[in-house]
């Protein structure tokens, strides 16, 4: 079983996304893989109704880590759970970079999502400079330790997405060998902080039909978090169909 997740980011009007959801429902064939879509908030209720009689699960791209209250403009974990989300992205590099989300805040989100009974998909990744100057191990260890140390996590309760920032939306994918090696390192980091080292690890960053199978066949890669290619129902379906 592999996990194939599509992060639509801030794309599509509600009408366009209903068409996209119908296209995905039609194109994705029954599979052993776990398939998840992360539409923009406004399309989440449509995703719940269009995908109601399918095996495709729904996640949110973001959340606010309180059940309710005076937080104008935010969407709570309770609301997301209530509408039918089973997953929530936490710590995507775009949130870290453009919205200055700190490790402390991400830790609150991971806890809130898990306590609401959803699965956080916690994203980590290094910049190009950090990859090139060799500091990426320290960077990834910091991102993981600051957020996950001391939490009691079972294998089914959290996924980790390794998304090198230099590979997101750039067309530059990490080679399967490099991604696998770095994700092996992430397992060591998890072990170091007393977390299960067999958590599901997803790779993200310019994943597409042409490289999906090579990435997914690596030992440490349990799934893919797909941005651009997940917007095209046929491409997403082709990746969902990889059997290993
Ligand atoms: P990409 O995005 O597949 O377009 O590179 C991945 C992501 O940001 O989750």
Q: Would you write out the chain's pLDDT as a tens digit for each of its 244 residues? A: 999 999 999 999 999 999 999 999 999 999 999 999 999 999 999 999 999 999 999 999 999 999 999 999 999 999 999 999 999 999 999 999 999 999 999 999 999 999 999 999 999 999 999 999 999 999 999 999 999 999 998 999 999 999 999 999 898 888 999 999 999 999 999 999 999 999 999 999 999 999 999 999 999 999 999 999 999 999 999 999 999 8
Scored b (16 or more CB within 10 A) or e, 20-59 reads bbebbbebbeebebbbbbbbbbebbebbeebbeeeebbbb
User: Which residues lie with the beta carbon below 6 Å from any ligand 1 atom?
Assistant: 7, 163, 168-169, 204-207, 225-229
Q: How many helices (H) and strands (E) does the chain have?
A: 10, 8
Candidate from 169, 170, 173 with most ligand 1 atoms within 8 A of CB, to mutate: 169
pLDDT at position 173, please?
85
Domain boundaries, the chain: 3-233
Torsion of CA 168, 169, 171, 172, to 10 degrees: -20
C-alpha 97/C-alpha 212 separation (Å) is 26
Q: Which CATH architecture has domain 3-233?
A: Alpha-Beta Barrel (3.20)
Candidate from 206, 209, 211, 230 with most ligand 1 atoms within 8 A of CB, to mutate: 206
Half-sphere exposure of 92 (CA within 13 A, CB side): 21
Q: In sequence order, what E strands does 100-198 have?
A: 119-124, 159-162
* Contact indicator for 151, 112 with CB cutoff of 8 Å: no
pLDDT at position 172, please?
85
Ligand 1 mean position to 210 CA, how many Å?
15
Residues with active-site annotation? 92, 163
Q: At what angle do helices 14-27 and 233-240 cross, to 10 degrees?
A: 40
* pTM over the 0.95 mark: yes
Of 152, 148, 223, 133, give the one whose Cα is nearest residue 189: 148
Q: Give the atom of ligand 1 at the shortest distance from the alpha carbon of 207.
A: 3
pLDDT at position 36, please?
98
């Amino acid at each position: 079983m592999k996990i194939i997740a599509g992060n639509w980011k801030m794309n599509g009007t509600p009408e366009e996304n209903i068409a996209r959801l119908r296209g995905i429902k039609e194109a994705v064939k029954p599979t052993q893989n776990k398939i998840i879509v992360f539409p923009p908030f406004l399309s989440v209720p449509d995703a719940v109704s269009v995908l109601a009689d399918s095996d495709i699960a729904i996640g949110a791209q973001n959340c606010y880590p309180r059940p309710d209250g005076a937080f104008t403009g935010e969407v709570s974990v309770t609301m997301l759970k209530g509408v039918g989300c089973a997953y929530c992205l936490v710590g995507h590099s775009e949130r870290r970079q453009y919205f200055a989300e700190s490790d402390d805040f991400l830790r609150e989100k991971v806890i809130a999502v898990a306590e609401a009974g959803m699965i956080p998909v916690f994203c980590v990744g290094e910049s190009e400079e950090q990859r090139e100057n060799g500091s990426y191990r320290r960077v990834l260890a910091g991102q993981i330790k600051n957020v996950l140390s001391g939490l009691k996590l079972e294998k089914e309760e959290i996924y980790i997405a390794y998304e090198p920032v230099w590979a997101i939306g750039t067309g530059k994918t990490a080679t399967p060998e490099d991604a696998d090696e770095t994700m092996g390192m992430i397992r060591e980091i998890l072990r170091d902080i007393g977390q299960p080292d067999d958590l599901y690890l997803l790779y993200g960053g310019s994943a597409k039909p042409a490289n999906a199978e090579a990435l997914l066949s690596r030992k440490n890669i349990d799934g893919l978090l797909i941005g651009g290619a997940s917007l095209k129902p046929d491409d997403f379906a082709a990746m969902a169909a990889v059997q290993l």
